[in-house]
Structure 1
Amino acid sequence: MEMLIVVAIIAILIAIAIPTFASSLNKARIATDEANIRSGYASVMVRVLDPDNALAAANTTVTYTLNKDGSVSTADETKDNYTCQGNQTQTGTSIGGVAMTTGWKKGDTISYKYDNATGKVTISVGAGK
């Protein structure tokens, strides 16, 4: 009888711990995504502020995509795109001083649009591959 009570108590504790662990794991993945998105934003700013960058010098809008190594690339540069690891449903997340209007889900890609006329960067989420 005592053994059944001990097993029941352990089962209850496990039932409580598993959702808490899953939530913590998703929060860690979201924090990783935010750090990678922030790193990509810094890479965009480095490219934009480079005086030798012909794309940023033109009076156009340039779209960059975040790569797995933290760098960014344009559409004509082929690299391995970064895909988000967590599920962020909260809107209005601010990364690098830029407010994101949408959240993201696992597998989504990140792109940055730089508008040379306004000097602003917009971060957007796209469907993954």
Structure 2
Amino acid sequence: MIKNIRAKLNEKKGFTLAELLIVVAIIAVLVAIAIPIFSSQLEKSREATDLANVRAAYAEVVAEYLTEGSASPITISAKQTKANWQTYNSAAKAPIGTQIGSVGAASVPANAGGSYTVSINASTGVVTVN
């Protein structure tokens, strides 16, 4: 009886080559799907960081202008790596701020690997982002 049990245990050990190939193929398909999704989400997070930094600089420039009557420009380095905005349907510019009277809202140009300069015109109060 013990010999029969040992014989059955010794007959089937491990996985067949076909089973291993199927598992490797499934993993390869999952990786092929996951990598583009991950990289696009990473770019969108870089863009969100850029917009948040520009909005903070926008608020700082406006606050300084309102308290001091003038404001020095602020330069921020861009984190995004693709030429157009991925979160705004590949637009060249993304809006920030709000329109106040005749002064329109500022828009942020996509700037891969460069920098943004937020400045305000002291005579008109118009904020520009380059």
Q: TM-score, normalised by structure 1?
A: 0.69
User: Counterpart amino acid of 2:60?
Assistant: S
SS in 2 for 1:118: coil
Q: Is the 8 A contact 2:62 2:120 kept in 1?
A: no
Q: Is the 8 A contact 1:30 1:88 kept in 2?
A: no
User: Counterpart amino acid of 1:121?
Assistant: V
User: Which of 1 and 2 has greater Rg?
Assistant: 2
Higher strand proportion (structure 1 or 2): 1
Higher helix proportion (structure 1 or 2): 2
SS in 2 for 1:93: strand
Alignment gaps of 5+ in structure 2: 1-17, 85-90, 99-104
SS in 2 for 1:50: helix
Pairwise CA distance, 1:85? 0.9
Q: 1:121 aligns with which of 112, 118, 127?
A: 127
After superposing on structure 2, the runs of 4+ consecutive aligned residues of structure 1 that deviate more than 2 Å are 97-102
Q: Evaluate the alpha carbon distance shift between residue 24 and residue 101 of structure 1 in structure 2; reply closer, same or farther with a 3 A threshold.
A: closer
Alignment deviations for residues 73-111 of structure 1 (CA, whole Å, 9 cap, x no partner): xxxxxxxxx3111135022311123342631112x1111
Query: What is the distance in 1 between the residues matched to 2:55 and 2:83?
Result: 15
SS in 2 for 1:111: strand
Q: Evaluate the alpha carbon distance shift between residue 44 and residue 101 of structure 1 in structure 2; reply closer, same or farther with a 3 A threshold.
A: closer
Identity %: 37
Query: What is the distance in 1 between the residues matched to 2:20 and 2:41?
Result: 31
Query: What is the distance in 2 between the residues matched to 1:92 and 1:33?
Result: 12
Q: Which residue of 2 aligns with 1:71?
A: none
Q: Evaluate the alpha carbon distance shift between residue 92 and residue 120 of structure 1 in structure 2; reply closer, same or farther with a 3 A threshold.
A: same
Count matched residues.
Answer: 100
Q: Which residue of 1 aligns with 2:28?
A: 11
Q: Which residue of 2 aligns with 1:105?
A: 112
CA-atom RMSD, angstroms?
A: 1.9
Alignment gaps of 5+ in structure 1: 57-61, 67-81, 125-129
Which stretch shows the higher mean deviation, 86-95 or 34-43? 86-95
Query: What is the distance in 1 between the residues matched to 2:52 and 2:66?
Result: 21
